[in-house]
């Protein structure tokens, strides 16, 4: 009873204070405005302080007002004040043509009775409040019927729409405005599944459709929706948390009112859900009052690592000044409650009251009476109330009000406040650290006025971890996939099934298993599985992991993934050494080309000898001259000639010859290099056709489909022999088909490459089956150089003939004789033409 007496005293005190204020302004017309709050709660008391300060501040700065707002406070959660309202809650609901729906009706009925009292006994022209969306829905319907604007600074549920209730003014942000910021966080970290956790109320469920749409827009699904009753006991919360543990998704979005949210996070921490690997994101319902909750409940201890989204309020000079005055006044009005800073809801309450007073003054003194229905049958209090005559005009004035408020620009569009920006905070220690901003225009940004610097700051996640959670974990329950693994005797590098004596369990390893594990770890969700080894024909599996080849026949019964190894089949045969490899340097050129080249070396030597017969550098003796001339011509191969030419004719001939030699040596070097590096060993067989025609024996891997391919190609079963390991392959190839082995191994390329990596000497892999016969080398013939030789012959011959003709005209004895050519000039002063 003590708290009720104090509450009644506070109401009478404020009523007396208002009468004194009105009497001090005899010229101002009083306008009654109702306020419905839960004054038994700390948030309600703080809101009332903020509303009262708004009225005082408005009229302190506007001295010559013709109207004055008179506040009438009513409690929304207790019937101490609301008892004055006539009629039962059920009769009120029937008057509104509504039916009781859930347990929240008890508190909503008090708000409704308070509203009826304000309308019936005080004929209020506007109602500020109530605080929750569930309570507001009843009062909004009452305001619409009585044509009285209902202004709410905290009813954020999207289910309350000003378009459906024209006398409802949402002087706060719609919950749906924050889903874009939440979806941006989800997209930034690439989480593919999210579980919303919300309270079972109009406030909790109203935002879910908008949240799901926003998540789907960023390719994130909602596999489950966790609903927590508004008055849930600890056992009910624990049951739902245990259910979340059994799921693989570890990203949770919590949308609850502060009281329920504080209890929920405390239970989550106790059950180990605030640990490493989990992601918790809260909406502004909890984020806006984090400091107050921690002040009373030390809730931040249970919320370490939580990411919260809340509206951005600039810390302006007006806000700082208001905060200081608020703390002082709140402490004076509530000496038993520890003072705390106002939240954004108190700032909205202040701006809402200021907007109401401004609209009332802009409208001017009006007749504030209620018009009752013409019918005289007043069966309910709603019939007695009637409708306000000045309500529509006041509503229009409120909707057109614009000013710079404490919480930002006060601008109503479509009957509700427009969103500007949100800040994303990370709960660390006893405070929340801002890590990013979000605006509808720029998205995530480190600065409000630019998109430069996109990227969240370092975040401490639940479990005091800096590593970004994957967003999923292996659930504690659920069906595991049955993965079949074939057991083979050989080629264990692909799949190896072993036994671990220390753990007494089967161990599966190998290349195929490593690829499977890498794929499973790369998935954005958890998939549990277990291996089953043995025959693939007698067991049921969800999938098979191993060296399983994709064939057309198998695709009729099962589905395959994309291939992860090189496809195709090929053949391994022994190689034999070429006994003629000591003469491999002659192979690049054909015999004809060798002869033509030698002939042209001799021809060029004779040409130089004729033209340079008077060159003393070639000597005087016939043998000396012949040796030096031909050495000079052959030295062109390595460009090491030392003798100089005296005649321009011989220089022209040698220039052409040097070009021919350059091309000839380059081609020879390239061809010889290819032969020395590639054609070291020769296979014993060219292809399968040759093996089929010679009746050779072919080996294949035991259990492989290669046997069927060989049979379709014409090989008899008696010519086919199966093996299991690569060592058996090597032994059979070395024995040969005549001695009980095989002449070739026919198998898939991955196995053959593995075989060659272990037995690299003495074996080679031929071209793939169903391809061409392969590539070979071609020796360079004289035909390839016929044009060059023709040019060389023509130029050299012409040079020699022109030289002889010129020499014959200048010399009275004619051209040089054979003796002059072999012995050199008789006159040392003889000069070349």
Pairwise CA distance, residues 677 & 777, whole Å: 12
Pairwise CA distance, residues 712 & 143, whole Å: 88
Pairwise CA distance, residues 2 & 25, whole Å: 35
The answer to whether residue 253 scores a pLDDT higher than 90 is: yes
Helical spans, DSSP H, in 364-425:
381-385, 391-399
Structure confidence at residue 509 (pLDDT): 87
Pairwise CA distance, residues 700 & 722, whole Å: 5
Give the whole-number percent of the chain exceeding pLDDT 70.
73
**Per-residue model confidence as pLDDT tens digits over 355-391:** 999 999 998 887 667 777 665 554 555 666 778 888 8
Which CATH number is 481-565 given?
A: 3.40.190.10
Q: Which of 589, 606, 588 is nearest to 657 (CA)?
A: 606
More confident residue, 431 or 409: 409
Pairwise CA distance, residues 101 & 202, whole Å: 11
More confident residue, 73 or 828: 73
Q: Which of 142, 124, 148, 123 is nearest to 35 (CA)?
A: 124
Residue with tokens 């690569």: 726
Q: Which of 384-388, 476-480, 600-604, 721-725 has the lowest mean pLDDT?
A: 476-480
The answer to whether residue 696 scores a pLDDT higher than 70 is: yes
The answer to whether residue 572 scores a pLDDT higher than 60 is: yes
HSE-up (13 A, CA, CB side) for residue 729: 28
The tokens for 46 are: 């703080």
**Per-residue model confidence as pLDDT tens digits over 184-193:** 999 999 999 9
**Per-residue model confidence as pLDDT tens digits over 93-123:** 444 444 333 434 444 567 778 888 898 888 9
**Per-residue model confidence as pLDDT tens digits over 424-461:** 999 988 888 899 999 988 888 887 665 555 567 789 99
Contact 302, 274 (CB under 8 A): yes
The answer to whether residue 80 scores a pLDDT higher than 60 is: no
Average pLDDT over residues 42-68: 93
Structure confidence at residue 103 (pLDDT): 39
Q: Boundaries of CATH 3.40.50.2300 in the chain? A: 2-172+317-415, 175-312+421-445
**Per-residue model confidence as pLDDT tens digits over 535-568:** 655 567 778 888 777 777 777 777 887 887 777 7
What is the homologous superfamily of the domain 175-312+421-445 according to CATH?
A: Response regulator (3.40.50.2300)
Pairwise CA distance, residues 683 & 687, whole Å: 10
Contact 512, 571 (CB under 8 A): no
Pairwise CA distance, residues 285 & 420, whole Å: 17
Structure confidence at residue 685 (pLDDT): 64
The answer to whether residue 223 scores a pLDDT higher than 90 is: yes
pTM above 0.85?
no
Helical spans, DSSP H, in 420-531:
511-522
> Would you place residue 296 in the very low, low, confident or very high pLDDT band (cuts 50, 70, 90)?
low
More confident residue, 519 or 345: 345
Pairwise CA distance, residues 505 & 717, whole Å: 40
3-state secondary structure of 282: strand
508: left (phi over 0), alpha (psi -120 to 50) or beta: beta
**Per-residue model confidence as pLDDT tens digits over 664-690:** 878 878 887 777 766 555 565 667 778
CA dist 624 → 603, 613, 616, 617 (Å): 18, 12, 11, 10
Q: What is the pLDDT of the chain when averaged over all its residues?
A: 78
Show contacts of 91-97: CB within 8 Å, 24+ apart: 91/380, 91/381, 92/116, 92/380, 92/381, 92/382, 93/138, 94/380, 95/379, 95/380, 95/381, 95/382, 95/383, 96/138, 96/141, 96/142, 96/145, 96/382
The tokens for 37 are: 């709050």
Structure confidence at residue 239 (pLDDT): 92
**Cα-atom radius of gyration of the chain, to the nearest Å?**
49
**Per-residue model confidence as pLDDT tens digits over 748-784:** 888 888 888 888 788 888 765 433 333 334 444 555 5
The answer to whether residue 618 scores a pLDDT higher than 70 is: no
The answer to whether residue 412 scores a pLDDT higher than 60 is: yes
Contact 471, 249 (CB under 8 A): yes
Pairwise CA distance, residues 167 & 114, whole Å: 18
Pairwise CA distance, residues 803 & 184, whole Å: 91
Tell the CATH topology of 2-172+317-415: Rossmann fold (3.40.50)
Pairwise CA distance, residues 15 & 122, whole Å: 12
Structure confidence at residue 401 (pLDDT): 95
Structure confidence at residue 13 (pLDDT): 43
CA dist 240 → 247, 249, 293, 718 (Å): 11, 14, 23, 68
The answer to whether residue 170 scores a pLDDT higher than 90 is: yes
Average pLDDT over residues 645-653: 72
Burial 552-568 (b: 16+ CB within 10 A, else e): eeeeeeeeeeeeebeee
The answer to whether residue 5 scores a pLDDT higher than 50 is: no
For residue 408, how many other CB atoms are within 10 A of its CB? 21
Pairwise CA distance, residues 445 & 423, whole Å: 10
> Would you place residue 23 in the very low, low, confident or very high pLDDT band (cuts 50, 70, 90)?
very low
Q: What is the dihedral of CA 629, 630, 633, 638, to 10 degrees?
A: -120
* Residues 6 or more apart in contact with residue 627 via CB below 8 angstroms: none
The answer to whether residue 20 scores a pLDDT higher than 60 is: no
Average pLDDT over residues 118-135: 88
Q: Boundaries of CATH 3.40.190.10 in the chain? A: 481-565
The answer to whether residue 307 scores a pLDDT higher than 90 is: yes
Structure confidence at residue 777 (pLDDT): 40
More confident residue, 795 or 74: 74
> Would you place residue 578 in the very low, low, confident or very high pLDDT band (cuts 50, 70, 90)?
low
* Strand (E) or helix (H) holding 292: helix 290-297
The answer to whether residue 199 scores a pLDDT higher than 90 is: yes
The tokens for 435 are: 């890590």
Which CATH number is 681-765 given?
A: 3.40.190
CA dist 788 → 147, 600, 635, 662 (Å): 108, 11, 19, 11
Structure confidence at residue 97 (pLDDT): 42
């Amino acid at each position: 009873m003590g708290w009720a007496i104090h509450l009644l005293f506070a109401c009478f005190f404020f009523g007396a204070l208002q009468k004194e204020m009105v009497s001090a302004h005899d010229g101002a017309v009083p306008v009654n405005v109702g306020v419905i709050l839960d004054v038994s709660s700390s948030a309600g008391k703080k809101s009332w302080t903020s509303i009262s300060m708004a009225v005082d501040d408005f009229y302190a700065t506007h001295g010559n007002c013709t109207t004055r707002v008179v506040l009438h406070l009513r409690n929304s959660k207790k019937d101490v004040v609301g008892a004055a309202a006539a009629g039962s809650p059920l009769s009120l609901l029937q008057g509104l043509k509504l039916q009781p729906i859930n347990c929240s009706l008890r508190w909503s009925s008090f708000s409704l009775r308070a509203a009826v009292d304000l309308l019936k006994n005080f004929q209020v022209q506007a109602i500020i409040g109530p605080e929750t969306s569930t309570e507001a829905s009843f009062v909004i319907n009452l305001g619409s019927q009585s044509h009285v604007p209902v202004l709410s600074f905290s009813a954020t549920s999207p289910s309350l729409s000003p378009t459906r209730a024209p006398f409802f003014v949402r002087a706060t942000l719609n919950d749906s405005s924050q889903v874009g910021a939440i979806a941006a966080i989800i997209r930034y970290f690439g989480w593919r599944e999210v579980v919303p956790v919300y309270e079972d109320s109009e406030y909790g469920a109203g935002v879910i459709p908008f949240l799901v749409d926003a998540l789907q827009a960023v390719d994130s699904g909602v596999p489950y929706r966790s609903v927590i009753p508004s008055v849930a006991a600890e056992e009910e919360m624990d049951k739902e948390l245990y259910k979340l543990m059994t799921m693989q998704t570890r990203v949770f979005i919590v949308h609850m009112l502060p009281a329920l949210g504080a209890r929920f996070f405390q239970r989550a921490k106790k059950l180990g859900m605030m640990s490493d690997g989990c992601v918790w994101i809260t909406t502004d319902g909890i984020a806006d009052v984090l400091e107050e909750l921690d002040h009373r409940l030390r809730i931040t201890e249970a919320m370490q690592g939580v990411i919260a989204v809340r509206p951005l309020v600039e810390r302006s000079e007006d806000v700082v000044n208001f905060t200081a005055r608020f703390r002082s006044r709140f402490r004076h009005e509530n000496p038993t409650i520890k003072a705390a800073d106002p939240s954004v809801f108190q700032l909205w309450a202040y701006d809402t009251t200021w907007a109401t007073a401004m609209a009332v003054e802009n409208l001017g003194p009006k007749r504030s009476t209620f018009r009752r229905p013409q019918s005289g049958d007043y069966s309910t209090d709603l019939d007695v109330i009637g409708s306000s005559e000045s309500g529509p005009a006041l509503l229009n004035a409120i909707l057109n009000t614009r000013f710079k408020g404490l919480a930002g620009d006060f601008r109503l569009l479509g009957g509700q406040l427009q969103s500007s920006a949100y800040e994303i905070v990370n709960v660390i220690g006893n405070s929340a650290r801002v890590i990013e901003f979000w605006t509808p225009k720029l998205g995530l940004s480190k600065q409000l006025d630019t998109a430069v610097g996109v990227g969240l700051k370092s975040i401490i996640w639940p479990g005091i971890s800096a590593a970004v959670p994957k967003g999923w974990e292996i659930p504690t329950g659920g069906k595991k996939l049955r993965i079949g693994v074939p057991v083979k005797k050989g080629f264990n590098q692909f799949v190896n099934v072993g036994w671990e004596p220390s753990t007494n369990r089967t161990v599966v390893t190998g290349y195929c298993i490593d690829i499977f594990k890498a794929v499973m770890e790369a998935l954005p969700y958890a998939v549990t599985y277990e291996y089953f080894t043995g025959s693939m024909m007698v067991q049921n599996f969800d999938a098979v992991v191993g060296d399983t080849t994709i064939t057309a026949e198998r695709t009729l019964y099962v589905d395959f993934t994309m291939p992860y190894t090189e496809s195709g089949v090929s053949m391994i045969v022994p190689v034999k050494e070429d006994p003629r490899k000591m003469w491999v340097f002659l192979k690049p050129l054909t015999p004809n080309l060798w002869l033509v080249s030698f002939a042209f070396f001799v021809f060029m030597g004779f040409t130089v000898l004729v033209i340079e017969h008077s060159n003393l550098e070639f000597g005087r003796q016939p043998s000396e001259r012949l040796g030096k001339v031909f050495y000079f011509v052959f030295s062109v191969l390595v460009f090491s000639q030392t003798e100089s030419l005296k005649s321009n004719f011989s220089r022209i001939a040698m220039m052409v010859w040097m070009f021919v030699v350059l091309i000839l040596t380059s081609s020879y070097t390239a061809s010889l290099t290819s032969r020395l590096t590639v054609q070291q060993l020769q296979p014993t067989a060219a292809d399968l056709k040759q093996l089929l025609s010679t009746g050779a024996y072919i080996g294949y891997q035991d259990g492989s489909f290669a046997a069927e391919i060989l049979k379709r190609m014409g090989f008899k079963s008696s010519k086919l022999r199966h093996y299991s390991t690569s060592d058996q392959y090597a032994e059979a190839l070395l024995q040969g088909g005549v001695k009980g082995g095989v002449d070739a191994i026919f198998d898939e390329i991955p196995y053959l490459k593995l075989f060659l990596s272990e037995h690299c000497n003495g074996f080679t892999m031929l071209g793939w089956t169903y391809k061409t016969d392969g590539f070979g080398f071609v020796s360079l013939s004289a035909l390839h150089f016929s044009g060059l030789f023709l040019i060389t012959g023509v130029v050299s011959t012409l040079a020699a003939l022109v030289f002889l003709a010129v020499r014959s005209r200048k010399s009275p004895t004619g051209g040089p004789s054979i003796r002059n050519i072999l012995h050199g000039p008789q006159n040392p002063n003889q000069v070349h033409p």
